[in-house]
């Protein structure tokens, strides 16, 4: 049995990355499983341990680092660590399934470097930085300072998008899902 391949999906926050991944998983016609990362951030309402993330204490996360359990890990927000577990990728890919990684830009670039042609890296981009700002404002979950901060971070992250194999614009959600679906199917057919 041949090993499964790796699909990396990254995007600045507010670009609909999780929605797109969830839509693809729900559609279910691509053989791929979600990589459950580890994090030391607390669960949000509705999140389930072992499903959305493996929620670890600071101490547990540090132990996993010293046990060399991660393919990669990043401090995505101050004090908040996220990491892709080797055992997760080995289990899924070892059974011949593809795995989809919802990870930040630095992590995505590192995993692509490690796996080369076995990995497809997809970057979801907003139609423009202005549209992203309007979307964040309409969610009304953040104040102006927080939105400015997210937009600045998004601009920084977008500067890395040329390092990804492909960029998909999320202007219309259904079209974006369709386009991500198509690049994954093409990749799986070619590797
Ligand atoms: P959230 O806290 O909103 O679930 O995720 C915050 C950010 O962490 C997102 O950009 C998400 O893609 C990223 N992230 C989640 N898991 C991992 C991981 O295992 N490694 C890296 N580098 N980033 C991750």
Domain boundaries, the chain: 6-186
pLDDT tens-digit series, residues 42-79 = 999 999 999 999 999 999 999 999 999 999 999 999 99
Mean pLDDT score of the chain: 95
Helices 173-190 + 17-27 axis angle, to 10: 60
pLDDT band (50, 70, 90) for residue 14: confident
Angstrom distance (rounded) from CA 7 to CA 100: 5
1 CA from centroid of ligand 1 (Å): 30
> Distance, CA 22 to ligand 1 centroid (Å)?
15
Number of H helices, E strands in the chain: 7, 9
| Whether CATH 3.90.1300.10 fits 6-186 | no
Query: What are the Cα distances from residue 157, in Å, to 4, 116, 124, 185?
Result: 28, 21, 11, 26
pLDDT tens-digit profile of 142-155? 889 989 999 999 99
13 Cα–ligand 1 center, Å: 10
> pTM for the whole thing?
0.95
* Residue 84 CB less than 6 A away from ligand 1: yes
Whether 13 shows a pLDDT value over 80: the answer reads yes
């Amino acid at each position: 049995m041949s090993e499964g391949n790796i699909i990396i999906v990254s995007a600045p926050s507010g670009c609909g990355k999780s929605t797109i991944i969830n839509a693809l998983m729900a559609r279910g016609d691509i053989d791929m499983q979600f990589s459950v990362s580890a994090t030391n951030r607390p669960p949000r309402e509705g999140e389930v341990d072992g499903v959305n993330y493996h929620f670890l204490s600071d101490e547990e996360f540090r132990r996993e680092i010293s046990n060399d359990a991660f393919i990669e890990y990043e401090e995505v927000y101050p004090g908040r660590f996220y990491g892709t577990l080797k055992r997760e990728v080995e289990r899924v890919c070892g059974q011949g399934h593809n795995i989809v990684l919802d990870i930040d830009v630095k992590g995505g670039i590192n995993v692509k470097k490690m796996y080369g042609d076995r990995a497809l890296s997809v970057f979801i981009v907003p139609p423009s930085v202005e549209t992203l700002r309007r979307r964040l404002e309409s969610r009304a979950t953040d104040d102006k300072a927080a939105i400015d901060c997210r937009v600045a971070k998004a601009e920084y992250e977008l500067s890395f998008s040329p390092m990804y194999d492909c960029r998909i614009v999320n202007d219309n959600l259904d079209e974006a899902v369709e386009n991500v679906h198509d690049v994954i199917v093409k990749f799986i057919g070619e590797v």
